[in-house]
Every structure is written in C-alpha cells, then in structure tokens.
C-alpha cells in the first residue's frame, strides 16, 4: 500500500484518492506509521489532511502535537541513543528494530510490549541501556500519559484508544472549506437557530475565555457517502460543460439547472430514487461549491451577521464575524488557500476590477438570492501573507423606518421628523463610525420618497439595493464611479460622475459615501439648488463638527459651501457596560445654520434637534425643536400656506408621521407579521398617507391629523386583510 504526500506550508496532505476506502491515522497502523515518518522528516508540520476519494479527514494542531511527540521520541533514539549503530546491543538488534518500527505505527502496543520485555528479559545491561530508557521516554509522551493507568485494558494491536484521542474532522471532497463541527467540551450553549437552508448555528461561551464561538454545521457536512458520491460525479460532469455566460445571476441559474440534471441522470444510472425536493437540495449544495462561494453563502444567509473577516494567511486562523446579538465572535470555519483563490478569481471576473500585486485592493459587492455584501479584498503587496477579505453583509431586503424602530436604532419621533425633512427636499448627511448603520439608514430614507420622484444613486462600491427599489416601482438611475482606493482607470472619477448626475435632470440624489473630491461638487450642487429634491449621503464622522472638519480640512471643501448642508444625522455603535455587546443607535440630529463666517462651532451653527438619552435609551427633543425654533423646519413650513407661521400644525404633522410608523410596528408584533415592516408595506403605507392627506385637505380645507390617522388606519387594516 503506497501513500502519496505533499507539504503545503505547515500542512501535510496525504493523497489516497487512488485507493479504495478511507485510511485514517486512528484506524490503520500503516497510515500512522507513514504520518509519523513524515513528521520525523518535517517536524514543523502542525496540520494533517488525508484526502480520500469521497471525503477528507483533517487533524488539527493539538492532535498533530501528540503524534509529533512520538516522532521526536523516535528521533531521540536514532540520533542521540544511536540504536542503528552496529555496536548497539548487537545480540538484541532484531528486538530493538521491532520496537522502533512498532513505535511509529502503534505507540501504545509498543509501550505494552516494552513493559513485557522488561519483565521477561534477563539481560540487565539491555534493560538499563535501552528498554527502561525506552519505557521512560514513552511515558513522557502525551499519548502514553493519557492511557498509562488503564493501558492493560486494551488488547494487543487494538485501535480503540486512538479512536478516542484522534478525532479528525471529516468533510466531503467537493467542499473546500474546513469546518470543526463539534464545539469544545468546555463550552456552554447560549443560543441555537437554523438558517434558511436548515443549516444549524450554535452560539457557545467557552469556559474560562472571553471568546464567543459561532458554530456552524453546514448541510453539506451531513450528506451521506452515497449523496457525496453523486455530488462529486455531478461536479466532474459540470466541469466538462462549455458555454459562455455573462452575468453572475445567469451563471448561478445555469449551474443549478445543469447540476440538477446531472444529479438526476447519475442517480438514475445507479438505480437510486431521489425526490424532486432532494434533487433540488443536492443541486443547491453543488451550486454553492462550484459557481458559488461555498461556506460564505451560509454566513450570508444569517440575518444576524453583520461583518465577516478572513485574515491572511488564510487557513491558519478561523473566520471571524460580527454578530448582531453577541458582537465579535470566532467561528469554527477555516478557509483554505484554494477557496480563497477561487473567491478572488470570481471577484475579479464579476467586478471587472483587477486584484494582483500591482493592484492589491479590490472593492466590489456580491449579490446572492438570499443576501448582499460589500467586499474588500487585499493581496500582496499590501498584505505580506497574501489574500485577506472583509465582508460587510447587507440585509437581503432594504431597511425601513419601522424595522429600525423595532431594532431600537431610533424612536418614532425621529422617524416622523426625518420623514417630514425628506418630504421637504432638504440636504442630509448621515455620519458615524464604521459599522454604525449609516448605509442602512440611508437605504431606509429612500423608501420615504414617493415613487413619482426620480432618484439618482451614485456609489463607488454598490451597497444600496437598487434592483429592489426598481422592483418596488421606483424611478432609479444607478451610477457606479471609480473607487478612491482602487483607482481603476476605465471607471469615471467620482467628481466627474457626480457632475454627470447633475445633468440627468431634476431628481433626488443619494451618494453612497462622500470620500474625496466629489464632496466639493456635491456641496456646490446643494448650494446652487441644482437639485429640486432630497440630497443625501453618508460620511465618516463622530459629530457635526467632525463632519465639518473632514469635508473642509481633509477633503478640501470651501468652508462657506458647508452652509448648503441642512441636517446631519449622527449614528454610533454603543457598547454595554461589560464591553461584550454592541448596539447601533442614532445619537443626534443636528441642523446646520447659515449665519456664520469662520468657525461654525464657535458661532453656534450646529444646533441639535434630537439628542440621545443613555439613561432612557431613546432620542429626546431639544427645546429648539419643541419651541419651533428650527431654521430648517421653518424653511420647509413657510413654503406651505397652511403651515406658514403655524408651528403647532408642523409639530402635529411630524408626530402624525411618527405615529403611523409606530402603528406599523405594533401591528407587526401583535399579529406576528414581520412582513408588515418590510419595504413593500412601508412604501404603500407612505403613499396612502400622502393620498389621504390630499383627500382630507380638499374636503376640510386643512390637514386634520386625527382624521388623517383614522382614514389611514382604516386603509391599513384593509390592506392587512387583503
């Protein structure tokens, strides 16, 4: 029996795909002997992978360390004691050689046999010169320490003990990632739930550590060997298919259809009956592990995951995630170099952007049927140890104001105020740190616009769910510009793309993130009134002055141009007192006043309208807002006859809008209907509100808040029944 070996970094790969069956270290002395001899030659190995025809077995460092101790014991007697020397107890040469050979393939039996020889051998010199020394050295190894007190209960050449201490992780061959399915013994289950494809997720607290473990059990790791054989053959069959496909959605559909056909054909030829549902299930597994992104697709299915990190060198550390409920977690997933290269190739292909040593950064996005994510990939020369990835997961459907109220990101008062400001066609920047929910909030603001308005969205890396907006009936034009990080020359610079957007007619304008020179064009367009509707974007900044400092001092905006901005919304990530949990909150809404010359901070240009109360965990209105002293709101109201000089009517309308959002949340919870909070209902509810306002105004000559709410509620309840 011959095994093939390959060394990849610190990983020993034993290839037995040409042999029938699976030969593991714990079950087969020949494999243990081969592996120990490789560890003798390559002591730096810390992981072992055995590749069979249908599955792989992987041994992790703590198991490899036990085997390395055996190999080091073997080395000690070869190099230091010199058991191979001609003059080393020549009368016992066969006996010595037998024990040394047995050490590599079965150290427990070797230990038992050594004790037996000590008890039966009458040559005291041989006992002291080799047998006792050999026994003592064996007792220093972890394998013998674990079994020493009960060694006698194991029969000669029994492998039962090795099956207890060597527990490899098995995975099907068609899966590239490695997943440690079983959580550590010293862990406590905190929560368990299932993903859309029925893969299991367990959240564990590891005793004695601060780490939280996100333990994923993908469905493909639970398939039978029979199913694995069918999938493996279907994968090979798909590799033979030709044909040119242009976009990723078409590629996935192509592979799913052809994959299901191949699975059906192969199972029929083997006389195996598979139901239509099972064929679809196996087809989706095949798709994930061919044209798809493997285990990454499971993570993107999880609505509670916000960020995914794969550090370089890939495979040496697990994937890390940021969980909505448990914060930063380690996972049981190890991405292999092969899978990382596969991802990089797909990102290059689908984005049309390079990723190599000359262009070591790639910004793009992936859109899958169950989720979207922004991708940042880096490689050499920026990352010395090769490929690394960061994924910012976006919700499958757009965020809405009611959803964010339910998540406690803000309260109904904020929703009502922002709805009023958006209808008023003001300019808004959403500011905050990384991961504070800026893009989610910007995405929800789009749904507050009526569908009759045209919207232009400008992004360097697509993050907003433009296709979903279009399916909802919005008139959207999406522009993609050059990333300020990657500098792809075939793409238009952000400032040029923004100037183009201004020539595309009256519309609401949303800029995914203000990063560079486009800020000058954006603020100038606000200043001259080039757009007749909402202008909004996101920017990194922890406060109103922080935003001013960034766009003026970092991005080069003329200070007086900053006056074109009306509202700054500050969103931040807050932490629990123990530091283990994080939550996102809107912490301030600030209006930017225009009567200042040099320094807006010292001249009182930043006026808070809402501020966050940590004690009550909610936004509270300031006296400026309550007393109707907001310049922005007064500018909106003075253009509407009924509201001009009537702050009580404006305030009533703001509260009415917030009440409608809160009603949607209450009905969703009462009826257990989370779909009520999604975009489809929210857009219809907003437009029903505007239609009812028009109807009431025409009937009574003014906007009666009570009448509007009652009519809206009547419409809403009918809509729920339909």
- pLDDT bracket for residue 524 (50, 70, 90): low
> Residues 180, 184, 187, 191: what is their CA dihedral angle, to the nearest 10 degrees?
20
pLDDT at 492: 67
Q: Is 688 exposed, middle or buried (0-12, 13-18, 19+ CB in 10 A)?
A: middle
Identify the CA nearest to 8 among candidates 41, 46, 37. 46
pLDDT at 527: 65
Which of 263-267, 414-418, 484-488 has the least mean pLDDT?
Answer: 484-488
- CB-CB contact of 56 with 220 (8 Å): no
Q: Is 78 exposed, middle or buried (0-12, 13-18, 19+ CB in 10 A)?
A: middle
pLDDT over 90 for what percent of the chain? 52
Identify the CA nearest to 390 among candidates 373, 377, 381. 377
Measured distance CA(353)–CA(484) in Å, rounded: 13
pLDDT at 71: 96
- Which domains does the chain possess? 4-165 (no CATH), 174-220+294-394 (3.30.450.370), 227-288 (no CATH), 401-626 (3.40.50.300)
Measured distance CA(510)–CA(494) in Å, rounded: 13
What are φ and ψ of residue 119, in 5° steps?
-70, -25
H-helix segments, 188-247? 225-239
Instruction: Specify the residue for token string 């490689």.
Output: 379
Which of 152-156, 309-313, 460-464 has the least mean pLDDT?
Answer: 152-156
pLDDT surpassing 70 at residue 134: yes
How many helices (H) does the chain have, and how many strands (E)? 25, 25
- Interstrand relation of 305-310 and 320-323 (parallel, antiparallel or unpaired): antiparallel
Which of 12-21, 54-63, 154-163 has the least mean pLDDT?
Answer: 154-163
Instruction: Spell 461-496 as b/e; 16+ CB within 10 A means b.
Output: bbbbbbebbeebebebebbbbbbeebebeebebbbe
pLDDT over 70 for what percent of the chain? 92
- pLDDT bracket for residue 609 (50, 70, 90): very high
Which of 73-87, 501-515, 584-598 has the least mean pLDDT?
Answer: 501-515
Identify the CA nearest to 654 among candidates 677, 678, 628. 628
pLDDT at 372: 84
Residue-wise pLDDT tens digits, 300-351: 999 899 899 999 988 888 999 999 888 889 999 999 888 999 999 999 888 8
Q: How far is CA 88 from CA 27, 107, 121, 369, in A?
A: 33, 22, 17, 70
Residue-wise pLDDT tens digits, 570-583: 999 887 776 667 78
pLDDT surpassing 80 at residue 156: no
Residue-wise pLDDT tens digits, 695-706: 998 888 888 899
pLDDT at 484: 59
pLDDT at 364: 86
Residue-wise pLDDT tens digits, 211-268: 899 999 998 888 888 888 899 889 888 875 544 545 777 888 888 999 999 999 999 9
pLDDT at 578: 67
pLDDT at 153: 65
Residue-wise pLDDT tens digits, 526-546: 665 545 688 888 888 889 999
Q: What is the mean pLDDT of residues 461-486?
A: 82
The mean predicted confidence, pLDDT, of the chain is 88
pLDDT at 381: 83
């Amino acid at each position: 029996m011959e095994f093939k070996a390959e060394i990849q970094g610190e990983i020993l790969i034993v290839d037995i795909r040409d042999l029938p069956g699976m030969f593991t270290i714990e079950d087969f002395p020949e494999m243990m002997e081969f592996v120990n001899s490789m560890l003798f030659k390559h002591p730096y190995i810390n992981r072992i992978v055995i590749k069979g025809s249908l599955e792989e077995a992987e041994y992790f460092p703590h198991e490899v360390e036990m085997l390395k101790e055996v190999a080091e014991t073997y080395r000690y007697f070869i190099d230091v004691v010199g058991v191979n020397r001609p003059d080393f107890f020549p009368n016992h040469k066969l006996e010595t050689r037998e024990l040394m050979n047995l050490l590599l393939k079965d150290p427990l039996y070797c230990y038992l046999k050594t004790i037996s020889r000590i008890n039966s051998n009458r040559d005291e010199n041989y006992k002291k010169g080799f047998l006792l020394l050999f026994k003592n050295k064996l007792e220093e190894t972890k394998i013998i320490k674990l079994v020493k007190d009960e060694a006698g209960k194991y029969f000669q050449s029994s492998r039962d003990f090795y099956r207890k201490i060597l527990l490899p992780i098995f995975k099907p061959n068609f899966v590239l990632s490695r997943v440690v399915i079983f959580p550590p013994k010293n862990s406590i289950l905190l929560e368990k739930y299932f993903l859309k494809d029925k893969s299991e997720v367990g959240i564990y607290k590891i005793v004695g550590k601060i780490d939280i473990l996100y333990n994923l059990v993908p469905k493909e790791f639970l398939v039978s060997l029979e199913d694995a054989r069918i999938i493996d053959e279907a994968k090979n069959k798909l590799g033979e298919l030709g044909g040119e496909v242009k976009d990723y959605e078409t590629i996935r559909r192509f592979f799913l259809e052809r994959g299901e056909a191949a699975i059906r054909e192969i199972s029929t030829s083997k006389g195996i009956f598979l139901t239509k549902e099972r064929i679809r299930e196996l087809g989706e597994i095949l798709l994930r592990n061919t044209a798809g992104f493997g285990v990454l697709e499971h993570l993107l299915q999880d609505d509670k995951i916000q960020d995914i990190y794969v550090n370089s060198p890939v495979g040496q550390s697990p994937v890390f995630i940021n969980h909505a409920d448990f914060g930063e977690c380690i996972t049981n997933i190890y991405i292999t170099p092969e899978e990382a290269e596969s991802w990089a190739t797909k990102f290059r292909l689908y984005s049309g952007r390079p990723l190599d040593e000359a262009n070591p950064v790639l910004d793009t996005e992936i859109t899958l049927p169950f989720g979207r994510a922004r991708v940042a990939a880096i490689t050499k020369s920026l990352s010395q140890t090769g490929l690394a990835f960061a994924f910012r997961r976006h919700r499958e459907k757009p965020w809405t104001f009611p959803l964010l109220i339910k998540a406690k990101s803000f309260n109904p008062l904020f929703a009502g105020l922002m709805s009023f400001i958006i209808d008023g066609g003001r300019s808004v920047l959403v500011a905050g740190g990384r991961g504070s929910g800026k893009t989610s909030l910007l995405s929800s603001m789009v749904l507050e616009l009526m569908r009759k308005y045209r919207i232009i969205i400008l992004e360097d890396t697509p993050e907003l769910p433009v296709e979903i907006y279009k399916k909802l009936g919005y008139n959207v034009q999406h522009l993609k510009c050059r990333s300020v990080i990657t500098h792809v020359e075939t793409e238009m610079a952000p400032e040029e793309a923004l100037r183009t957007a201004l020539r595309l007619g009256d519309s609401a304008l949303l800029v995914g993130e203000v990063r560079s020179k486009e800020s000058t064009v954006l603020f100038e367009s606000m200043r001259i009134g080039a757009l007749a509707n909402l202008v909004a974007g996101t920017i990194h900044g922890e406060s109103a002055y922080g935003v001013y400092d960034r766009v003026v001092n970092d991005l080069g905006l003329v200070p007086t141009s900053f006056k074109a901005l009306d509202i700054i919304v500050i969103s931040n990530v807050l932490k629990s007192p123990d530091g283990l949990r994080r939550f996102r909150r809107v912490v301030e809404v600030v209006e930017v006043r225009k009567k200042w010359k040099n320094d807006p901070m010292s001249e009182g240009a930043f006026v808070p309208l809402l501020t966050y109360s940590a004690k009550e965990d909610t936004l509270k209105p300031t006296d400026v807002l309550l007393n109707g002293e907001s310049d922005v709101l007064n500018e909106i109201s003075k253009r509407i006859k009924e509201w001009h000089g009537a702050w009580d009517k404006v305030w009533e309308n703001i509260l009415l809008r917030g009440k409608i959002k809160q009603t949607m949340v209450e009905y969703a919870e009462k009826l257990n209907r989370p779909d009520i909070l999604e975009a489809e209902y929210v857009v219809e509810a907003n437009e029903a509100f505007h239609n009812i306002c028009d109807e009431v105004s025409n009937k009574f000559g003014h906007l009666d808040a009570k009448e509007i709410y009652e009519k809206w509620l009547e419409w809403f309840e009918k809509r729920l029944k339909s």
